[in-house]
Chain A
Amino acid sequence: MLKGILALLIFQGIGEFIVYLGDMPIPGPVIGMVLLFLTLQARGKKIPESLKVSSRLIIDYLYLLLIPTCVGCFFLVQNHFNQWIYIVASIFVSTLATIALGGLLMKYTLTRHELRSRIKK
C-alpha cells in the first residue's frame, strides 16, 4: 500500500511540475490523473494490488477530504447573505433542472443506443 501511495504522490508532483513549467490553465492534479491513466493504459496489465488498495482507501474518504472546502463555502455565504440569496436560488433551480434533463436525455439515448447495437448483433 505504501508503494501505491508513493506512486500517486509522484504523479501528483509531476503534474504540478508540468503546470509550473508550462503556465497552463489546467490544474496540476488533473494533469497527474491523465498521466497516471495513460501509464496504466500503456502497461495494459492489471492494476498493481498496492495501487488498487490505496486508491480504494482514498476514494472511501473523499467526503472527509472535502470538509474544509465546504466549511469555507459556509463562511462565504454567511458573510454575504443578502447578495447570496439570488445566487443560491438560481444555483438551486439550475442544478436540479440540469440533473433532471441530463438524466432523462442520457437514459433515452442510452436505451436507444443499446437497442440498436443489440439489433446489429
Chain B
Amino acid sequence: MEMLKLFILLVLTPLAFGLVTWLSSPYQKNSLYQLMSNPLILSTLLISGFLIFLGIDYQQYKFANKPFFFLLDTAIVTLAVPLYQQFFNFKQISKPLLITLIFSAFFASISALGFLFILGSETNNLISLAPKSVTTPIALRISEKIGGDPSMTTGIVVLTGMIGALFGPIIFKKLNIFDDRVKGFILGISAHGIGAAKAFKISQKCGAFATLGLSLTGILTALILPYIIIFIF
C-alpha cells in the first residue's frame, strides 16, 4: 500500500504537467493568457491543491519525487552544452555582460533588503532574503554561512524565480527589449534556473545567455555576499 502511494505521488508530477501543457497549448499565442497559463505555475497549483485536498504531507510528496530532484542536478550539468555552443557569442560582448552582471546581481540583493527593511522586518528575515537571486543549491549554502534560515531561503529563491519568469517577458515588451541575448542574460541573473527554463522556451540562444547569467551570479554572490552581510549587520 505504501509503495502504491509513493508511486502515485511520483506519477502525479508528470501527469499534472502533461495535462496542463495539453490544456494550455491553444492559448500560448496571447500574452495575457500566456501569463496565466504558465505550465510550471499551473502544475504547481494543481498538485498543491491535490495534496491539500487529500491531506498528504509535502515531505511525503518530496520523498516520492526524489528522481526529479536527482534529474534536476543532471540538468545543471547539461547546461554546459548550450554554454559551449554559445561561447563565441559571449566573448564578443564580454564587457557589456560584465557591467550588467555586477550591477544587477548587487541590485537584486540590495533592493530586496532595502524594501523589506523599510517595511520593518526582523534581521533574521533580512539575512535569509539576501541570496534571493542565486540558484537554489548555491543560495542554501550561502544562507547557512551567513546565518539565515535555509528553508526560508529556498522558498524565497523559488518565489523570486517564479515572479521573474512570469513577469520578465512582459517587462521586456514594455521596455522594447527584443534582443534574445539581453532577455536571456537578465532572466538568468534575476530569476536563476526558473528564468533559464523560461528563456529556453524563447530560443536556444536566449537560454544559453540565461545559463551564463545564472552561473556567474551564483559564483559572484557566493564569493562576495558573506562579506557584505558581515559589514552591514
Chain A residues with CB under 8 Å of chain B are 5, 8-9, 11-12, 15, 25-30, 32-34, 36-37, 40-41, 47, 51-52, 54-55, 58-60, 62-78, 83-84, 86-107, 109-110, 112-114, 117
Contact = CB atoms under 8 A, between A and B. Distances in A.
Contacts of A112: 96
Contact of A93 (B13, B115, B193): B115
Interface string B106-126: 011001100110010100010
Interface string B168-199: 10011001010101110111011101101100
Contacts of A40: 80-81, 84
B78 A30 contact: no
A83 to B, nearest CB: 7
B172 A103 contact: yes
Contact of A95 (B58, B79, B191): B191
Given A69-B72, A113-B93, A32 B77 contact: yes
Contacts of B76: 27, 29-30, 32-33
A106 B186 CA distance: 8
B107 A102 contact: yes
A88 to B, nearest CB: 7
Query: Which residue, of A67, A75, A95, A117, has the highest number of chain B Cβ atoms within 10 A?
Result: A95
A65 B62 CA distance: 12
Interface of B: 13-14, 16-17, 39-41, 43-45, 47-48, 51, 58, 61-62, 65, 68-69, 71-85, 87, 92-93, 95-97, 99-100, 103-104, 107-108, 111-112, 115-116, 119, 121, 125, 129, 132-133, 135-138, 141-142, 145, 151-152, 154-156, 158-160, 162-164, 167-168, 171-172, 175, 177, 179, 181-183, 185-187, 189-191, 193-194, 196-197, 200, 207, 215, 218-219, 222
Contacts of B158: 69-70, 72-73
A97 B175 CA distance: 12
A25 B145 contact: yes
Given A36-B77, A76-B155, A113-B95, A58 B71 contact: yes
Given A52-B81, A71-B44, A29 B191 contact: no
B160 A67 contact: no
A28 B156 CA distance: 22
B160 to A, nearest CB: 5
